[in-house]
């Protein structure tokens, strides 16, 4: 199967017509801003493997995989079969199911650092529960998180994810910047912002709030910061600080769990106290999970004499998500992880060659089966180094539109790719060749950035 070439593109008239209806009933015409594009979003009709066919019949090669959540591409037969069988039995009950237990057993066997686990419905819920559990366990109110890091839409977790030069303040004490208008000042006061991968400044900021910090929240390969790993020295420094100050080191691995068989955390010499999971562990269905040390997870245990953190959710651990997730993760075994990471490294090398051929000041970062393009010559390792100004974002939009509309290739809107096991070397060649043509078009504008 090959994506159709550019001269087979339609003008998207059906998508345009659907969007005109959508704006009458949906705010902005969408239910998630991520899919919005000007002048209107395109609508999917069906998807199989690494390809999505839109409502106008155009087939596109997918490197976004629903924002990193589809590690086996679309409509994988094994997942479809298992879910169909479960649906015949029911989709959700006010009862537990063995599907939840089987999946928990798999994840804990897969990741020995997990002692107990709890399921919920999204990565946002997982991070929210992780923060609240940290407060319940330590008895302290504040959290610390990296500037620019995305951890879902919980108000405490989202602070400073969109910080920019006009409001981010001194690097020695970054401002706590709200994302949503009307965020209470108390929320801002209870979030300590530190610069990612900067040990000296981070420890200094943590020390200033030592008696109040419940947890230090870290994504070990933060996509929004720039998709580069935290250094082992940085993670060790955070870990040692939390040991000395009655705080927890907690990881958001909603995206990065795909990096290694047992998550990005197994790359480090120390382990987090709690880990939030989501995306790929749902097998294409909504899911979230919180895993970690048994003594901390006890704050959720209804058998205790005093329940510190009541936790529930109507669709938490529903058997459809549990079944799909277990099948997906069983297929994503150690060989599959290694093969996909190898394919991603090949893609990175080919794109680096493209950058050399076009002769543009660009670089590529990533880990495991994820990578991201930067419109600068030197690879960044901090948020402010990777920050994209208005001119850069305009070039990104032009390149992504070219890839989507002319090459029929879908990338994440940060110029990132999250690979799936259904992709082949031929698909990687298609990507690198399309980027070669696309970068030649935007090269004059990239050169003016320098």
DSSP string, 79-106: HHHHHHHHHTT-S--SS--HHHHHHHHH
- pLDDT, average across residues 181-187: 97
**How far lies 78's CA from each of 68, 166, 334, 366, in Å?**
19, 49, 18, 29
In the predicted model, is pLDDT for residue 2 greater than 80? no
| Helix ranges restricted to H, 94-194 | 98-110, 123-138, 185-189
Dig out the tokens for 82 from the structure.
């298992």
Strands 248-252 and 274-278: parallel
CB contact at 8 A, 421 and 340: yes
Average pLDDT, integer, range 174-190: 98
Provide the whole-model pTM: 0.95
* DSSP helix/strand/coil, 274: strand
Check if the beta carbon of residue 382 is closer than 8 Å to that of residue 196: yes
In our burial notation (b when 16+ CB lie closer than 10 A, e otherwise), range 288-303 reads: bbbbbbeebbbbbeee
Name the pLDDT band for 11 (thresholds 50, 70, 90): low
Cite the beta strand spans of 125-231 per DSSP E. 142-146, 191-194, 213-218
Report the pLDDT averaged over residues 41-46: 96
Q: What is the mean pLDDT of residues 246-270?
A: 98
CB atoms within 10 A of CB 387: 18
Alpha-carbon dihedral sign for residues 369, 428, 349, 406: negative
Distance CA 68, CA 378 (A): 25
Q: What is the pLDDT of residues 92-118, one digit of tens each?
A: 999 999 999 999 999 999 999 999 999
Q: Which domains does the chain have, with CATH numbers?
A: 6-71+333-449 (3.90.1150.10), 77-331 (3.40.640.10)
pLDDT band at 10; cut points 50, 70, 90: low
Q: Is the pLDDT of residue 211 over 90?
A: yes
pLDDT for the residue 188 = 98
Q: Read off the pLDDT of each residue in 208-213 and give the average, rounded to a whole number.
A: 98
- Assess contact for 126 and 278: CB atoms under 8 A: yes
Would you give the DSSP letter of residue 32? S
Measured CA to CA, the distance from residue 185 to residue 188 in angstroms comes to 5
- Residue 429: count of CB within 10 angstroms of its CB: 13
Reported as type and span, the H/E element at residue 410 is: strand 409-410
């Amino acid at each position: 199967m090959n994506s159709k070439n550019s001269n087979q593109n339609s003008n998207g008239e059906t998508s345009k017509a659907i969007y005109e209806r959508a704006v009458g009933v949906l705010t902005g015409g969408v239910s998630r801003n991520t899919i919005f594009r000007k002048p209107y979003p395109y609508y999917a009709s069906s998807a199989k493997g690494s390809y999505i066919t839109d409502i106008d019949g155009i087939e596109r090669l997918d490197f976004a995989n629903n924002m990193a959540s589809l590690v086996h591409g679309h409509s994988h037969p094994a997942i479809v079969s298992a879910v169909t069988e479960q649906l015949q039995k029911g989709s959700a009950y006010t009862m537990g199911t063995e599907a939840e237990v089987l999946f928990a057993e798999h994840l804990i066997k897969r990741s020995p650092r997990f002692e107990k686990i709890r399921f919920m419905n999204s990565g946002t819920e997982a991070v929210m529960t992780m923060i609240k559990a940290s407060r319940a366990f330590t008895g302290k109110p504040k959290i610390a998180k990296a500037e620019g890091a995305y951890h879902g839409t919980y108000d405490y977790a989202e602070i400073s994810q969109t910080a920019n030069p006009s409001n981010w303040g001194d690097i020695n004490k970054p401002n706590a910047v709200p994302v949503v208008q009307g965020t209470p000042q108390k929320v801002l006061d209870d979030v300590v912002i530190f610069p990612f991968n900067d040990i000296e400044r981070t420890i200094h900021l943590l020390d200033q709030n030592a008696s109040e910090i419940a947890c230090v929240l870290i994504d070990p390969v933060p996509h929004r910061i720039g998709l580069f790993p935290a250094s082992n020295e940085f993670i060790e420094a955070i870990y040692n600080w939390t040991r000395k100050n009655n705080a927890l080191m907690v990881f958001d691995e909603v995206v990065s769990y795909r990096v290694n068989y047992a998550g990005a955390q197994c790359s480090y010499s120390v382990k987090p106290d709690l880990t939030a999971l989501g995306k790929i562990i749902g097998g294409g269905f909504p899911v979230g999970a919180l895993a970690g040390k048994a003594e901390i997870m006890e704050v959720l245990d209804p058998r205790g004499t005093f329940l510190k953190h009541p936790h529930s959710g109507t669709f938490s651990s529903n058997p459809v998500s549990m079944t799909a997730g277990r099948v997906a993760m069983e297929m994503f075994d150690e060989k599959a992880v290694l093969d996909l990471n190898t394919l991603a490294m090949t893609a990175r090398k080919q794109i680096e060659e493209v950058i050399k051929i076009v002769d543009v000041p660009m670089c590529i970062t990533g880990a495991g089966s994820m990578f991201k393009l930067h419109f600068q010559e030197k690879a960044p390792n901090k948020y402010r180094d990777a920050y994209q100004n208005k001119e850069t974002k305009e070039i990104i939009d032009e390149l992504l539109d070219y890839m989507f509309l002319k090459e029929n290739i879908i990338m994440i809107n940060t110029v990132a790719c999250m690979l799936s096991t259904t992709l082949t070397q031929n698909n990687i060649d298609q990507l690198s060749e399309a980027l070669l043509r696309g970068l030649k078009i935007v090269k004059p504008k990239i050169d003016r950035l320098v």
